[in-house]
Amino acid sequence: MKRLLDSLKNIVGPDAMITAASELMVYECDGFTIEKNRPDVVVFPTTTEQVSRIVDACNYFKVPFLPRGAGTSLAGGCLPVGGGVVISLARMKKIFDVDYRNRCALIEAGVINLWLTNHLKPHGYHFAPDPSSQGACTIGGNVATNSGGPHTLKYGVTVNHVMGVEFVMPDGEIIHTGGPVEDNPGYDLTGVIVGSEGTFGVAVKSWVRITRNPDTYRTLLGVFNSVDDATNTISEIIGAGIVPAALEMLDQMILGALEDAFHFGFPLDAGAILIMEVDGLEAGIDTEAERITSIAVKNGAREVRKADTEAKRTLLWKARKQAFGAVGRLASSFCTQDGVVPRSKLPHILREIQKIGAKYDLKICNVFHAGDGNIHPILLFDERYPDQVKRVLEASGEILDECIRVGGSVTGEHGIGVEKIDFMAKLFSPDDIAMMIRLRNAFNPTNNCSPQKMLPTAGACIEASKAGRMAAM
């Protein structure tokens, strides 16, 4: 290890690496805190060439490595299983080239999602994927996990907005896929790299598509007495062929925490609220908003409020996007799940979540991307009590099993990471997983890059609970 550390010091310099145990603690997990493992070293390269040399050194000394952005992911994607080298891309934060005429930009992996949108704002553009963590998460992390966000209902997820990458392969070679021009011939390598959770290599720079800002918005707040009424509304809006820019649901428990934190004026006695936003041209937008309002009223909304000033809209979205932060008011620990169901199955899955919460004696609140059918039940617990951790894991498993049973998936935007490896065999057949392993081997044959992530390894089927150190067990 000492020789590796010397090599890394030569590459990035002593000020760009961390080896002290107290500092490494920050890097022992991401937003999924149930499992932890400390890396041996964290390095902070500033160029693609440095990343390539770091990878060469890791390979030479046969030490595993994995890339990391801001560590906001929620499934253990940047958990350093087996230790090794964490390559933090946090210092690669240049926005190189924004080409407004061709609607694309070249940026480094460490650029914070919201910085890019703020950079583009004066020119009337934005970067469409807007995960709730957009104030902290990096574009490199968005690329690795194929991030979503509230507005992906209309605008698509990260992969729909990435045109190419500069990429360090697990053998240290630097390659470019795609680029600023659409339709280059050959396989869509960019398309499979996005969402590969760092298991194919290190995406160092990305060509991303930039999107014109809509002229206007109508942001509505539907207030419902019951979760059922809210979910039926969602189902009917989508069924009516309306594609809102966002359609988000919050239940009563989360509303209380949000109101304490943001003082928006949420109705605390409501069973659920829906944030329903349409955007686009001024022409016709009121008609669309009225159609949505009448569907909500028909389905039992007791009122539909308008966030009719920019300040109100901004506060509403701030409250929504920082909802997870407000959960701290409800419990000392929480586990956010990320299931997906066909949109017409939302009423069913929310009823099931309620039942599962009662069965395991856990409080579960809900705030999620309802328009996509992407649920985020938040299971509240105290990680100091092993029994609670156990119940949280079992309840999470039951919720996700039910998502699979009704034709959905166990992750809409957080990824498999280490948390959900066991679910891969429930979603996919051994033949399906074998093809995924073959694809990974094309990029990462030694599996030295982000080992034991995403796919159960043949012959050594990893169990999520063994991946790292359990926080409370």
* Residues 20-79 within binding reach of another protein (CB under 8 A): none
DSSP type of residue 372 = G
Does 312 participate in binding another protein (rule CB under 8 A)? Answer: no
Residue nearer to another protein on the CB measure, 184 or 332: 184
Distance CA 457, CA 451 (A): 9
Residue from 6, 23, 97, 188 in contact with another protein (CB under 8 A): 188
133 phi, psi to nearest 5 deg: -90, 20
Does 442 participate in binding another protein (rule CB under 8 A)? Answer: yes
Distance CA 208, CA 98 (A): 9
For tokens 């997983």, name the residue: 433
Residue 283, CB half-sphere, CA atoms under 13 Å: how many? 0
Does 315 participate in binding another protein (rule CB under 8 A)? Answer: no
Does 386 participate in binding another protein (rule CB under 8 A)? Answer: no
Contacts of 94 (CB under 8 A, 6+ apart): 107, 108, 111
Does 97 participate in binding another protein (rule CB under 8 A)? Answer: no
Cβ pair 134, 116 in contact under 8 A: no
Does 439 participate in binding another protein (rule CB under 8 A)? Answer: yes
3-class secondary structure, 35: strand
Does 446 participate in binding another protein (rule CB under 8 A)? Answer: no
Contact stretch for another protein (CB under 8 A) within 57-65, 299-307, 319-327, 410-418: 410-418
Residue 325 CB, nearest approach to another protein (Å)? 23
Residue nearer to another protein on the CB measure, 2 or 438: 438
Residue from 68, 126, 151, 369 in contact with another protein (CB under 8 A): 369
Does 215 participate in binding another protein (rule CB under 8 A)? Answer: yes
Residue 244 CB, nearest approach to another protein (Å)? 12
Contact stretch for another protein (CB under 8 A) within 52-60, 175-183, 317-325, 327-335: 175-183
Contact stretch for another protein (CB under 8 A) within 19-27, 42-50, 249-257, 407-415: 407-415
Residue from 315, 436, 471, 472 in contact with another protein (CB under 8 A): 436
Contacts of 98 (CB under 8 A, 6+ apart): 105, 119, 120, 123, 210
Contact stretch for another protein (CB under 8 A) within 26-34, 53-61, 169-177, 358-366: 169-177
Contacting another protein within 412-431 (CB under 8 A):
412-416, 420, 423-424, 427-429, 431
Contacting another protein within 143-162 (CB under 8 A):
145-146, 148, 152, 156-157, 159-160
Cβ pair 371, 381 in contact under 8 A: no
Residue from 62, 94, 176, 306 in contact with another protein (CB under 8 A): 176
Residue nearer to another protein on the CB measure, 357 or 373: 373
Residue from 56, 259, 288, 401 in contact with another protein (CB under 8 A): 288
DSSP type of residue 456 = P
Does 179 participate in binding another protein (rule CB under 8 A)? Answer: yes
Terminal Cα-to-Cα distance of the chain (whole angstroms)? 29
Residue nearer to another protein on the CB measure, 103 or 391: 103
Does 122 participate in binding another protein (rule CB under 8 A)? Answer: no
Residue nearer to another protein on the CB measure, 2 or 101: 101
Residue 150 CB, nearest approach to another protein (Å)? 12
Residue from 8, 112, 210, 454 in contact with another protein (CB under 8 A): 454
Does 248 participate in binding another protein (rule CB under 8 A)? Answer: no
Contacting another protein within 344-363 (CB under 8 A):
344
CA nearest to 160, candidates 203, 128, 189: 128
Does 216 participate in binding another protein (rule CB under 8 A)? Answer: no
